[in-house]
Amino acid sequence: MFTFLFAIALLIVGYFTYSKVVERIFGINDENQTPAYSNSDAIDYTPMPWWKASLIQLLNIAGLGPIFGAVAGALYGPVAFIWIVIGCLFAGAVHDYFSGMLSLRHNGAQFPSLVGRYLGNTMRVFINVVSIILMVLVAAAFTAGPAQLIASLTPLTFTAAIILIFAYFLVAAVLPVNKVIGRIYPFFGAILIFMAVSIGVALLLTDRSIPNLTLSNLHPGELPIWPLLMVTISCGAISGFHSTQSPILARTIKKESHGRKVFYGAMVAEGVIALIWAAAGMTFFGGTGGLQEALAAGGPAGVVNEISTTLLGTLGGILAILGVIILPITTGDTALRSSRMMVSELLTKFFKVRGLKGILFATIPVTIPAFWLSTIDYTFLWRYVGGTNQLVATVMLWTATMYLLEKQKFHWICGIPALFMTAVVSTYFLYAPEGFSLPYELSLSIGGVITVIIAIWYISKVRKNKQLTEQTSNSNVA
């Protein structure tokens, strides 16, 4: 239990300390006019109070991610606590802050545009495709589960439930951000927090003992911790999906100083939620073996339902239903909204299609494949979400690193996490079934070589930047 409580304390202390370091390095200026005012259009660019933006950001980036992912990651044992704390404070929250603040500084630009600005046009084209694919996969994966539950609780068939959900997606994706998202989603964000806190308190009050820290791998299937844990628990530690969501709120922030609360703060809150559900997963079923059996029997939704109803009774059942139905739907909604915004940028840039026509043209192409994918196996979709998600996160960290390097600021704050995630992603795609399925030792070796090559490229960029700085300084003196 001590490890669990200490981990939560570290996240809270980290927010009040390290987030200020990150903010100072970025360099905020509340005299700057934010895109919410300079680009105001009453659709996407609309000023919001920071507390409302924070709750919406939490709901957008979280949904069921820090619940399902943390429960699955709990199979590795208490070592998951270490990854959540370190990953959240030094990688995930930094990633989220820079993805949001860079968007804000570039007139609410979408993630691929930021990549193009700092990593080049080729990478922009690549990540544009990858990001939109990720959004479609997330929308599809987070729709099938709720549709199945709706079909089991109502007279609606699974197909009818899918159609109903996507009809809502279409409406929500084109309406102004303050009509649905701005009014309802803060309430759902509060429910997400209340649900996690209730589970955490109930867990502490039971006679079940939350395991303390051990570096041993407790996974019943003997799957390796590296790099699988870092992909299994993404929401709650670091998730590339967040970089696609942050621009939605970057277009609503009133002052640059609000960015720390909205972006870094929401990520820390998600980390706390992930810690609670990881603790519940590895404790409630008497160990990781029992958790694996529960996951095999009812999947993550069944595990969440059993934990909630047992610990919280009727209230837990209600919260579980709200969580399994509403939270993934809201995530699917904002996933399609952000993909619509990405496609809208392309239509505006290359085809000069603007206004409501542009919004509709951008929404339909991403909705149709998401609808089709939602009808196939959920576990198949989720396998591809994980690796794609962390690839996007890695690219965002390198984008932030190049930004800081260009501005001659302390770039290592993003560069070190970027190198770490490069090693994670390289090894994962080489080893995972949805990748090349190479032997583990070979995957480690090749992944290490790829990381070293990227590190050499990074160091060359640092040296080149230093030389340019010295030349500029000498010319100014002369």
The tokens for 310 are: 């047992």
Domain-located, residue 179: yes
Domain extent at residue 277: 2-394
pLDDT-derived band of residue 477, with 50, 70 and 90 as boundaries? low
Domain-located, residue 466: no
Q: Contact at 8 Å (CB) between 14 and 268?
A: yes
List residues bridging with 253 in a β-sheet: 48
- CA 50 – CA 30 distance, rounded (Å): 14
Give how many domains the chain has, as a whole number: 1
Give how far the C-alpha of residue 107 lies from the chain's centroid of Cα atoms, to the nearest Å.
22
- CA 338 – CA 351 distance, rounded (Å): 19
Residues 267-296 have pLDDT tens digits of 999 999 999 999 999 999 989 999 999 988
pLDDT computed for residue 420 by the predictor: 98
Residues 169-199 have pLDDT tens digits of 777 766 777 777 778 888 888 888 888 888 8
pLDDT computed for residue 448 by the predictor: 97
pLDDT of 328 higher than 90: no
Share above pLDDT 70 across residues of the chain, in percent, rounded to a whole number: 91
Residues 342-377 have pLDDT tens digits of 777 666 655 554 555 556 555 666 777 777 777 766
Q: Which long-range contacts (C-beta less than 8 Å, at least 24 apart) are formed by 30-37? A: 30/255, 30/256, 30/257, 32/105, 32/256, 34/104, 34/253, 34/254, 34/255, 34/256, 35/104, 35/107, 35/108, 35/250, 35/251, 36/251, 36/252, 36/253, 36/254, 37/254
pLDDT computed for residue 189 by the predictor: 84
* Terminal-to-terminal C-alpha distance of the chain: 64
pLDDT computed for residue 409 by the predictor: 95
pLDDT computed for residue 349 by the predictor: 59
Mean pLDDT across 381-396: 85
Domain-located, residue 264: yes
Domain-located, residue 439: no
- CA 153 – CA 318 distance, rounded (Å): 13
pLDDT computed for residue 132 by the predictor: 79
Select the more confidently predicted residue: 246 or 373.
Answer: 246
pLDDT computed for residue 303 by the predictor: 86
Domain-located, residue 460: no
pLDDT computed for residue 81 by the predictor: 96
Q: Contact at 8 Å (CB) between 103 and 114?
A: yes
CATH number at residue 65: 1.20.1740.10
pLDDT-derived band of residue 68, with 50, 70 and 90 as boundaries? confident
Domain-located, residue 422: no
What residue type is assigned to position 289 of the chain?
G
Cis peptide preceding 227, ω within 30 of 0: yes
Burial call 419-454: b when 16+ CB within 10 Å, e when fewer: bbbbbbbbbbbbbbeebeebeeeebbebbeebbeeb
Mean pLDDT across 241-263: 94
Mean pLDDT across 102-125: 91
Q: What angle do CA 310, 229, 404 make, to 5 degrees?
A: 120
Q: Which is nearest to 324 in space by CA: 309, 336, 310? A: 309
Domain-located, residue 255: yes
Mean pLDDT across 443-451: 97
pLDDT computed for residue 377 by the predictor: 63
- CA 80 – CA 438 distance, rounded (Å): 25
pLDDT computed for residue 398 by the predictor: 97
Q: Contact at 8 Å (CB) between 323 and 305?
A: no
pLDDT-derived band of residue 151, with 50, 70 and 90 as boundaries? confident
pLDDT computed for residue 356 by the predictor: 53
Packed helices 158-174 and 288-346: angle between N→C axes, nearest 10 degrees = 50
Mean pLDDT across 462-476: 77
Give the chain's mean pLDDT. 86
Domain-located, residue 301: yes
- CA 61 – CA 58 distance, rounded (Å): 5
List residues bridging with 48 in a β-sheet: 253
Show Cβ contacts of residue 210 under 8 Å, excluding neighbours closer than 6 positions.
1, 3, 4, 203, 204, 279, 282, 283
pLDDT-derived band of residue 476, with 50, 70 and 90 as boundaries? low
Least confident of 61-70, 134-143, 398-407: 134-143
Mean pLDDT across 131-143: 78
SS3 per-residue string spanning 453-467: HHHHHHHHHHHHHHH
pLDDT computed for residue 363 by the predictor: 66
